[in-house]
Chains A and B, each alone.
Chain A
Amino acid sequence: DTGVSQDPRHKITKRGQNVTFRCDPISEHNRLYWYRQTLGQGPEFLTYFQNEAQLEKSRLLSDRFSAERPKGSFSTLEIQRTEQGDSAMYLCASSLSVQYEQYFGPGTRLTVT
Chain B
Amino acid sequence: DQQVKQNSPSLSVQEGRISILNCDYTNSMFDYFLWYKKYPAEGPTFLISISSIKDKNEDGRFTVFLNKSAKHLSLHIVPSQPGDSAVYFCAAARTQGGSEKLVFGKGTKLTVNP
Contacts and interface: CB of A to CB of B under 8 A. Distances in A.
Interface of A: 4, 6, 31, 33, 35, 40-45, 48, 55-56, 91, 93, 95, 100-107
Nearest to A101: B46
B102 A45 contact: yes
A68 B45 CA distance: 24
21 contacts: A4-B43, A33-B102, A40-B106, A41-B106, A42-B4, A42-B89, A43-B44, A43-B104, A44-B104, A45-B102, A55-B99, A91-B44, A100-B49, A101-B34, A101-B46, A102-B102, A104-B43, A104-B45, A106-B41, A106-B42, A107-B42
Interface of B: 4, 32, 34, 36, 41-46, 49, 89, 91, 93, 95, 99-107
